Amino acid sequence: ARVIVTGRRLAALEAAVEQIGHNATGIRGDISNAADLDRLYSTVEKQVGRLDILFANAGGGEFRPLGDITEEHFDKTFAINVKGTVFTVQKALPLMPAGSAIVINGSMVSVKGLPAFGVYAASKAALRSFARTWSVDLKDRGIRVNVVAPGTIVTPAYKSELGLSDEQIEGFKNQAAALAPLGRTGTADEIAKAVSFLASEDASYITGIELFVDGGTAQI
């Protein structure tokens, strides 16, 4: 299979391509920028001609309580998580044949009331709503649309994007683990397996769902 990876951070993009191997291509870009999306899909069309699976994984945001939310914070979070994802999916459609699959990266916080997560959680709840309507919009083409909703997955972005110290990250992990019935945080590999399932023929009769991969946190 050919894999196309896109992202803003060049070092992370190159590392992902190296890990995947010779069938992977990295295209640097920002999904909140329409011109970058157009360039991405123009390259995809030239190199591979079609997309059988789209995993809309980009996202991020700062965490602020209601009294500290600014317009800049709100607009930035929604530009990436909502607007960017909407047009990532929309602009991919001409390349997606009948029977293909779309998986959107949501979050379990979309259904949980966690302090300071208001804007981020709302942006992820919006994606879950879009998945419902898109599964109907695309039914005549047989394109399935599902959401994977991770729990707490500690990645390098906690340092590089959020600027948290090792001590803060460890405290956050312990807090999250205490909330999960399974008593721990998850791994990126566990999320990848769930995405692979939703994108595969094993999930051929599944569309419009939100699959929580969160150690049970959202269910209690």
DSSP 64-116: --GGG--HHHHHHHHIIIIIIHHHHHHHHGGGPPTT-EEEEE--GGGGS--TT
Cα four-point dihedral sign 164, 167, 168, 173: positive
Q: Using an 8 Å Cβ cutoff, are 115 and 179 in contact?
A: no
Q: Select which of 41, 120, 158, 205 is catalytic.
A: 120
Cβ neighbours, 10 Å, residue 96: 19
205 is a catalytic site residue:
no
Q: Tell me the catalytic residues.
A: 120
